[in-house]
Structure 1
Amino acid sequence: MTLIHAPPELVFDASLSVEVHTTSMTASRERAVAGVTSGRLGPGDRVTWRARHFGVPWRMTSLISGYDRPAYFMDEQVTGPFRRWRHAHHFVLAPDEEGTVMRDVVDFAAPAGPLGAAAEALVLRRYLTRLILLRNAHLKRITEEAATPRD
């Protein structure tokens, strides 16, 4: 869960921006290579990402399969490295009404049977959690800056 001092609409829209996503993932050199490759993703959109994780090139096509602006969206792997990947993004007005509580729920399964399950438990879950936290910190930084009134 991440508290962001910006309105839910702003955080939601930034979360669906291809450019915001790629700038948050510079360490893995992630970029959109097919489908929607710039701008904001919307319901039914597909994007193919190319990145490098663990020194290995990865390619994954995601579909925006659920969409309820500004409260929720879901992206799911259509093709890619996981046996299963679903990432639900929830945005709720903070209790003090001074921002947004953003919550990620990721449901995934590694490929390769028992070997994949071991990699998932030993390395992958922690690695993916760190990636999402990095992305959320980037979203927090840019949306709070955009929401701050200028003199």
Structure 2
Amino acid sequence: MRDIDLHQKSTSKTHEKAIAGRTSGLIENNETVTWRGKHLGVYQTHTSKIINMKKPYQFTDIMLKGTFKSFKHQHLFKQEGDNTIMTDILEFESPFGIIGKIFNRIFLKYYLKKFLLERNKIIKITAER
């Protein structure tokens, strides 16, 4: 999501805050933001960069620094009648080789999906007001 303030609101359960780079307003292509939030009981930081943007249809961010081995998040928007359909495509790899892959399959994939769905509910409610 490009709106840093709405992102922080939608992730209040994990206490995510923008602490460096773009820290409020709309993030633009080639800008970065560093997030600090509590995931899996531990405060973590994650620096993302917008690497591709085609307004108003899509944008893609990648992790520059963080806990993952790699992290790429595509945000796609499609108009259907009076509605906008948002689709998240999240590609990630955990560190720690085979142990990381097992952790992804058993737990992390489910955790991230649930996180995005909960976040998107708040975004939807806000957008429809």
TM-score band, normalised by shorter chain: over 0.9
| TM superposition score normalised by structure 2 | 0.97
- Cα distance between partner residues in 2 of 1:134 and 1:20: 13
User: What is the DSSP-based 3-state SS (H/G/I as helix, E as strand, rest coil) of the residue aligned with 1:141?
Assistant: helix
Query: 1:141 corresponds to which residue?
Result: 125
- Cα distance between partner residues in 2 of 1:115 and 1:90: 31
Q: Which residue identity does 2:107 align to in structure 1? A: V
| 1:82-93 to 2 correspondences below 5 Å | 82-93=68-79
- Cα distance between partner residues in 1 of 2:22 and 2:126: 22
Deviation at 1:54? 1.1
Structure number with greater CO (CA < 8 Å, separation at least 6) is 1
| TM superposition score normalised by structure 1 | 0.83
CA RMSD of aligned residues (A): 0.7
> Structure 1: which 4+ aligned runs deviate by more than 3 Å?
none
Q: Which runs of 5+ in 1 are unaligned?
A: 1-14, 146-151
| 1:99-110 to 2 correspondences below 5 Å | 99-110=83-94
User: Which one of 62, 65, 73 corresponds to residue 48 of structure 2?
Assistant: 62
User: Which one of 131, 136, 150 corresponds to residue 115 of structure 2?
Assistant: 131
Q: Which runs of 5+ in 2 are unaligned?
A: none
Q: Aligned pairs, how many? A: 129
Identity among equivalent positions (%) equals 33
